């Protein structure tokens, strides 16, 4: 391996930041919306906050799975950009929309099965009238998320991430405004509480898709892409390749998301106050997760481009830079959490019992930042070079075989309650870092 000079290291850092910052800003808009959603719902009632915790964790697991599936475009775009096949990218976008819709059909079937079995999941009975309607509206909105994901991955893959950023920002601002109007019944609207938050999210996601489609159709610089979109037919071999790349990524991300959803179900066994506190800390954690994910997406895009040029040396270097930047962010976030551990929960709830539980969970949130930041970069770098099956099996081992049983044992056998459930996260992330690191060294050492 050639020496990695400080000059080149800084160049890679700047390149990832230039590409990653618009992605991060766009995603942070979604997180800010989620935080605003949680704050507004929490101020409306603690019961609605607990119901939102359950539904959001279940639905978000499948949104993350679906988003992971749509990442199948990243290595394909990198490969075609490296070979200057711009017209073919439009055809791949068309085929991606078809593949995403077939995947959405599968996801909706699973979510429907869950809906008809919610009463068997051990959640507080008093929350059921709130959970059911919110669940249905959130499930329908996933259709718009999946279609928008194709356009988003396309724009970020061709390094037009700033457009994606603005589209998501507009949609998220609309969501916040809609939340205020519908949750509290402002501007002549009926006060809908938690259901109003779901309706607002549904409308904003539909608007995001409409904006993506409009930009793609009207932007003159996309002439070659639009020609490819019109002329290239939907091809079975393209659909198969998108599924071959997409499903391992989807399952890898779905397994990680399922870990959070299953731990949420475990916390529901403990009580409604614990569910509300869990939702608050999870909402806080999504800020750091989004930053890591944005840096990971930038790393994947750079890795796919270098892979298309058959330059493993630069794949390694972009991965190292991604890890450096992500760990730097994790340190900053941990410091912020440390100095605000006892007060940060007040943004979401005034319930003293809930705030006491939040304060107990913040140190664990700090603990898992480092493992989370590194494993996201490594998984995305491997995704960028189409090494996706390994990440799926590593996720299964780290979270389902190691983390979840460990969390259950600590929480319910050792009697540590919600803190025991939460310890599953740093345990799983640490395991993931070790295994992904070994895999990355092996496949990037050519």
**Residue 426's pLDDT is what?**
94
3-class DSSP state of 403: helix
**Stretches in the chain below the pLDDT threshold 50:** 1
Pairwise CA distance, residues 412 & 399, whole Å: 18
pLDDT, position 3:
64
Q: Which residue, 165, 170, 112, is CA-closest to 138?
A: 112
**pTM given for the model:** 0.80
DSSP state, 125? Answer: G
* pLDDT score recorded for residue 157: 86
Tell me: the pLDDT tens digits for 262-296?
A: 898 899 899 888 988 898 898 888 888 889 999 99
| Per-residue pLDDT, 329 | 94
- What per-residue confidence (pLDDT) applies to 211? 97
Task: Please tell me the predicted confidence (pLDDT) of residue 208.
Answer: 95
Q: From its phi and psi, is residue 232 left (phi > 0), alpha (psi between -120 and 50) or beta?
A: beta
Structure tokens at 152: 């988003």
Asked if 73 and 150 touch (Cβ cutoff 8 Å), the reply is yes
In terms of C-beta density within 10 A (0-12 exposed, 13-18 middle, 19 or more buried), how is residue 375 classed? buried
Is residue 100 within 8 Å of 146, Cβ to Cβ? yes
């Amino acid at each position: 391996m050639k020496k990695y000079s400080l000059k080149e290291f800084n160049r890679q850092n700047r390149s990832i930041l230039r590409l990653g910052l618009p992605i991060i800003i766009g995603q942070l808009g979604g997180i800010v919306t989620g935080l605003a959603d949680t704050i507004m719902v929490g101020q409306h009632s603690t019961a609605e906050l607990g119901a939102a915790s359950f539904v959001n964790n279940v639905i978000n697991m499948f949104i993350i799975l679906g988003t992971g599936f749509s990442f199948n475009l990243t290595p394909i775009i990198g490969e075609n950009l490296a070979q200057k096949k711009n017209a073919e990218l439009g055809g791949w976008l068309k085929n991606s929309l078809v593949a995403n819709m077939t995947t959405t059909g599968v996801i909706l079937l699973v979510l429907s099965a869950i809906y008809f079995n919610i009463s068997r999941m051990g959640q507080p009975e008093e929350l059921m009238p709130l959970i059911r309607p919110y669940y249905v509206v959130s499930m329908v909105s996933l259709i718009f998320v999946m279609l928008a994901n194709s356009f988003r991955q396309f724009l970020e893959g061709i390094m037009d991430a700033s457009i994606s950023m603005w589209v998501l920002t507009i949609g998220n601002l609309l969501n916040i405004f809609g939340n205020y109007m519908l949750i509290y019944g402002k501007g002549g609207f009926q006060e809908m509480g938690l259901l109003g938050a779901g309706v607002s999210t549904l409308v904003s996601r539909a608007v995001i898709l409409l904006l993506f489609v409009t930009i793609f159709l009207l932007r003159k610089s996309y002439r070659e892409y639009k020609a490819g979109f019109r002329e290239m037919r939907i091809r079975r071999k393209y659909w198969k390749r998108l599924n071959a790349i997409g499903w391992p990524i989807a399952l890898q991300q779905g397994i990680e998301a399922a870990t959070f959803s299953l731990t949420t179900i475990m916390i529901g066994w403990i009580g409604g106050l614990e569910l509300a506190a869990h939702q608050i800390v999870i909402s806080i954690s999504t800020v750091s997760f989004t930053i890591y994910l944005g840096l990971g997406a930038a790393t994947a895009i750079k890795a796919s481009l270098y892979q298309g040029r058959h330059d493993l040396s630069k794949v390694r270097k972009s991965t190292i830079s991604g890890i450096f930047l992500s760990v730097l962010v994790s340190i900053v976030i941990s410091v912020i959490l440390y100095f605000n551990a006892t007060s940060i929960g007040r943004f979401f709830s005034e319930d003293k019992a809930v705030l006491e539980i939040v304060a107990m969970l913040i140190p664990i949130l700090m603990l898992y930042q480092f493992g989370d930041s590194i494993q996201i970069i490594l998984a995305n770098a491997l995704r960028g070079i189409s090494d996706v099956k390994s990440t799926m099996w590593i996720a299964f081992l780290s979270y389902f075989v190691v983390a979840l049983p460990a969390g259950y044992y600590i929480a319910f056998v050792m009697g540590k309650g919600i803190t025991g459930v939460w310890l599953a996260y740093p345990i799983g992330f640490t395991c993931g870092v070790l295994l992904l690191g070994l895999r990355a060294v092996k496949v990037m050492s050519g």
